[in-house]
Amino acid sequence: MKVSERQLERYPIYLKYLISMRDSGLATISSPMIANALTFSEEQVRKDLQVVSINNGKPKTGRDINELIRDIQHFLGYDNAINACIVGVGHLGKALLNYKGFKDFGLNIVCGFDSDNNVIGQKINGLEIFSIYQLANKIEELKIEVAILVTPSNVAQEVTNKLMNAGIKGIWNFVPTHLKVNNDIVVENINMASSFAILNHKLKK
């Protein structure tokens, strides 16, 4: 079944909400209740949940909340973690090396890379920082599929080229730069400027 990007973005939001409801003692939950809490339309919630879960629950009580949580986690691949590295150990890179939340969504950070000799060889949050020249070796050795790119803008493309040569499969790009990549590489951008443009536009209306 085809799933749109907008739809994919919603599943982690459902999941967070469902886990908080389960933790506060709820055993079953209905689509209208979810729709109301998250300010999505009921139709959208029903469609989204049908994609991930066969069991539609009972008309009155709704779905079993634990089963729905498991179905979404499985759909998102959280039970099949991907190994990733942080590339660029500046302020943001360090913060991401220390971030505990990645595990929750199936991302297993295994190491960092940098070009600065003052950082190479250090451990941050128990994770070793390697030289950028060790990319190819370490990507193979540690079975790294995804690079989280947090370098300065002016070297982002150069480092991306190195990552492609080293056999990376996906790049999660936190640098506000449009990366040129080969067709077989997956890139997803976290663009803070784009997110803030929406906030700012709404504020000024």
Among 22, 33, 44, 106, binds a copy of itself (CB under 8 A): 106
Can you say whether the dihedral through the CA atoms of 187, 8, 19, 81 is positive or negative?
Answer: negative
Of 19-38, which residues contact a copy of itself (CB under 8 A)? 20, 37-38
Q: Which stretch binds a copy of itself (CB under 8 A): 61-69, 111-119, 127-135, 166-174?
A: 166-174
Of 143-162, which residues contact a copy of itself (CB under 8 A)? 145-146
Among 41, 74, 99, 123, binds a copy of itself (CB under 8 A): 99
The verdict on 181 binding a copy of itself (CB under 8 A) reads: no
Contacts of 48 (CB under 8 A, 6+ apart): 7, 10, 11, 14
Which residues on neighbouring strands pair with residue 149, listed in sequence order? Answer: 87, 173
The verdict on 69 binding a copy of itself (CB under 8 A) reads: no
Identify the DSSP state of 90: S
Q: Which stretch binds a copy of itself (CB under 8 A): 25-33, 114-122, 132-140, 171-179?
A: 171-179
The verdict on 13 binding a copy of itself (CB under 8 A) reads: yes
Contacts of 51 (CB under 8 A, 6+ apart): 1, 3, 7, 75
Nearest to 63 by CA among 33, 24, 20: 33
Q: How far apart are CA 146 and CA 190, in angstroms?
A: 14
The verdict on 2 binding a copy of itself (CB under 8 A) reads: no
Task: For the chain, count helices (H), then strands (E).
Answer: 8, 9
State the nearest-atom distance from the C-beta of 40 to a copy of itself, in Å.
10
Q: Which stretch binds a copy of itself (CB under 8 A): 44-52, 54-62, 102-110, 131-139?
A: 102-110
Given a contact cutoff of 8 angstroms between Cβ atoms, the answer to whether 72 and 16 are in contact is no
Expressed in percent and rounded to 5, the helix, strand and coil fractions of the chain are: 50, 20, 35
The verdict on 82 binding a copy of itself (CB under 8 A) reads: yes
Among 57, 62, 112, 170, binds a copy of itself (CB under 8 A): 170
Report the run of H or E that residue 85 belongs to, with start and end.
strand 82-87
Question: Which residues contact a copy of itself by CB under 8 A?
Answer: 3, 5, 8-13, 15-17, 20, 37-38, 76-77, 82, 91-92, 94-95, 98-99, 101, 104-107, 145-146, 169-170, 172, 176-178, 186, 188-204
